[in-house]
Amino acid sequence: MALQKGTSSPRPNEATPLLRDEPRSIDQDVGSSDTLTDSGRGDEGEVEDEDKANQHVGRIRGLFIMLSLCGLMFLQASNLSLVTTTQSKIAEDLDAFVAASWFTSAYMIAMSSTTILAGRLAQIFSPRSCVLVSSIFFGAGGVVASQGKTMPVFLLGRIIQGIGGGSIMTVSLILVLELSTKKRRGLHVGLINSVFTMGVSFGAVIAGALLPITGWRFLMWIQGPLSLISGFGVFFSIPKTFTGGDEGEGSISAKLARIDYLGAFTLVASVVLFLFGLSSPKIEYIPIIVSIFLLAGFILIEFYVAKTPIIPVTVLKNPGVLLSCVAQLGQMASRWTVLMYAPAYALSVRGWSPAEAGSILIPTNLGFALGGLIVGGFHVKRGGSFWLPSVISYTLFTCTFVLLSQISNEHTPAPLYLLAVLANGLCIGASLNYSLAHILHLTPPSTHFMAASLLTTFRAFAGSFGSAIGGGLFVRVLKARLETGFQENGGLEGREELVRKLLGSPALVQFLKGVEKRVAVDSYVGSLSQLYVAASVLALAMVLVQAGTGWKAGKDPVKGNESGSESEEEGGLGVEDEEWEEGMEQGV
């Protein structure tokens, strides 16, 4: 490691943050194969350089890290959407029409419950080790699911995949934040989001096209070897010197001792029970109530028991962080209703083939990628507040759901519908980039690592909420509409089995005739409209939550500067007014 001449290099300690904003410099070309880090902050008067990354790798290593990481992200994202176009066939083979919504819910619940743990483990064991283990879990889960002859075995494979998928998302963001400069951070985050959305788009299309040729079991199995190739690619590309923080030092036993097992158990159990209760065909209140008590227990453990909390107490006490996470949760939960049910609309209402239905995700995910890239490339090129842009993008996102709730029928021209989902993706892609930049402004630099990890966790929660809760709402409404429709058109008797199959197989609608097809189409149209109305209400509430985050910057306490602290206190209202005005200017 080479440091800038004239700067001090104090020995790192437990308080040294992983994501440091201090300037760094090297005396040699970054093409070196070693990881270059800076362990200390220079003189107090030294000007911060926003064009330096926290850690550096050589160009060749960086290229292989990028390619391998993009491969993992693509697999993880495509795994989400391929179920939307293969669901009907899987449900038919496993005789699981009623439980078809669990194909995605099982994966998303497992991913949500492990995402934040992955961020903590990356601190202790390093991102290098975590990405390898997560790729092994992800690949193994695909193999198990491909061999499942019964519903429980298939869901077990999906759960194993979810555990690996949650870690992949977290480690990807960690690597981006560590290896990118502030000026390019927004662009790189946009690129990661683009790879993710490409996987969602093309996963559904590829799965729909290959399903008649290879079958769904091969589509699940092939994820195993591909995941291992990408995982080992990232593992060997990241040098051993790449750090995950000072907690990564020591023996294996010492690292294991730093894990907050009680906090991890209560957090995971709380998430699993809460999502299980809401995603069931009939809402289960007992698991939800138990999850609330477990969440309260987790918070108490983090505050008063854990020596090394999973979530730093300073982050838990920051209202801006918590509001940002809640806003991200609600917005992305709304977004998942489009990702999960736009293909169902194409299959059931418009009668498209599985491959054509999967292609409906291309424009919305293209918009997602463009939104992140445009914002990251042209606006998020500095540190500071992005309060107003985030509120505006959230508001426009809400408007797209109002439009979708009105045009999700068989009479809407296809180009108009594709334009609507494109706008939906464009708005959420922009808002995600703004949200990340704004939460980094709200938090002290020493907590950026876990703040970003927490935001990623809530984003993963959103997938579970959107697919599980949205799926539960959609199935309940669809079931009621089908039963009512058939009851009013010849009676429900003898059609119970048809209702059961229609709940899990939207493609079945196009094979029906006469009054049965009319009832099925109307039921799907009504259910989709009600789903998008609910999504718009949730998105509107999240606009208000995001507005409540404020724009005051988070700062690390300056040690050894007692006089400075006193002078700030004496300044009183004048200093706060200056910060308010500066924050508003940056927010605009």
* Sequence-ordered list of residues with C-beta below 8 angstroms from that of 491, at least 6 positions apart, any chain: none
Q: What is the mean pLDDT of residues 419-426?
A: 94
- Give the per-residue pLDDT at 555: 66
| Backbone region of residue 470 per phi and psi (left: phi > 0; alpha: psi in -120 to 50; beta: other values) | alpha
What is the pLDDT at residue 268?
84
Helices (H), 8-101: 59-94
Q: What is the pLDDT of residue 49?
A: 52
**Model pLDDT, residue 453:** 67
Q: Count other Cβ atoms within 10 Å, centred on residue 390.
A: 28
Lookup: tokens for 516:
């049965």
Exposed, middle or buried: residue 82 (CB in 10 Å: 0-12, 13-18, 19+)?
A: buried
- Among the listed ranges 42-51, 133-142, 268-277, which one has the minimum average pLDDT value? 42-51
**Amino acid present at 113:** S
Task: Note the pLDDT of residue 22.
Answer: 45
What average pLDDT does this structure show over 99-104? 78
Tokens 């949760």 correspond to what residue? 329
Indicate the pLDDT class of residue 140, thresholds 50, 70 and 90.
Answer: very high
Distance CA 349, CA 113 (A): 34
Query: What is the residue-wise DSSP string for 473-501?
Result: HHHHHHHHHHHHHHHHTT-STT-HHHHHH
pLDDT score at 564: 41
pLDDT band at 20 (very low <50, low <70, confident <90, very high): very low
Phi first, then psi: give them for residue 46, nearest 5 degrees: -70, 135
Using pLDDT thresholds of 50, 70 and 90, give the confidence band for residue 574: very low
Question: In this model, does residue 38 exceed pLDDT 80?
Answer: no
* pLDDT at 457 > cutoff 90: no
pLDDT at 587 over 80: no
Rounded CA-CA distance 470/337 in Å is 6
- Of 34-43, 47-56, 102-111, the one with minimum mean pLDDT is 34-43
For residue 99, what are the contacts with CB-CB under 8 A and spacing of at least 6?
Answer: 151, 504
Tens of pLDDT, residues 505-520: 888 888 888 898 999 9
Question: Quick one: pLDDT at residue 556?
Answer: 57
* pLDDT for residue 404: 95
Helix (H, G, I), strand (E, B) or coil at 242: coil
Average of pLDDT values for 562-571? 39
Residue-wise pLDDT for 167-186, tens only, equals 887 788 778 777 777 667 66
Residue 8 phi, psi dihedral angles, 5° rounding:
-90, 155
310 vs 147, higher pLDDT:
147
Write down the pLDDT at residue 6: 41
Cβ-in-10-Å burial (0-12, 13-18, 19+) of 579 comes to middle
pLDDT greater at residue 559 or residue 308: 308
Would you put residue 514 in left (φ > 0), alpha (ψ -120 to 50) or beta? Answer: left
Residue 427 confidence (pLDDT): 93
Bridge partners for 37 per DSSP:
55
- For 439-452, write each residue's pLDDT tens digit: 888 887 766 666 77
Instruction: Provide φ and ψ at 16, rounded to 5°.
Output: -70, 125
pLDDT of 114 > 50? The answer is yes
Express each pLDDT in 348-405 by its tens digit. Answer: 999 888 778 878 888 988 888 888 888 877 888 777 788 889 899 999 999 999 999 9
Euclidean distance between CA atoms 445 and 21, whole angstroms: 6
pTM of the model: 0.66
Q: What's the CA gap between 526 and 478, in Å, rounded?
A: 8
- Average pLDDT estimate for 78-101: 79
pLDDT of 416: 94
The model's pLDDT over 294-331, given as tens digits with 9 standing for 90+, comes to: 989 988 888 888 877 877 777 777 888 889 888 988 89
> How far apart are the C-alpha atoms of 259 and 543, rounded to whole Å?
36
Q: Residue range 24-35: average pLDDT?
A: 41
Nearest CA to 180 out of 53, 48, 17 is that of 53
Q: Which residues are 36's β-sheet partners? A: 56
Using one digit for the tens of pLDDT, what is the confidence trace for 208-252?
888 888 889 999 999 899 999 998 988 888 887 776 555 556 667
458 touches 326 (CB < 8 A): yes
Quick check: 17 pLDDT over 90? no
> What is the overall mean pLDDT for the chain?
78
Percent of the chain exceeding pLDDT 70 equals 79
Considering only residues 461 and 8, tell me which one the structure prediction assigns the higher pLDDT: 461
Which tokens go with 545? Answer: 């939550």
Q: Is the pLDDT of residue 575 over 70?
A: no
pLDDT confidence bin for 31, thresholds 50/70/90? very low
Whether residue 395 contacts residue 387, with contact meaning beta carbons closer than 8 Å, is answered with no
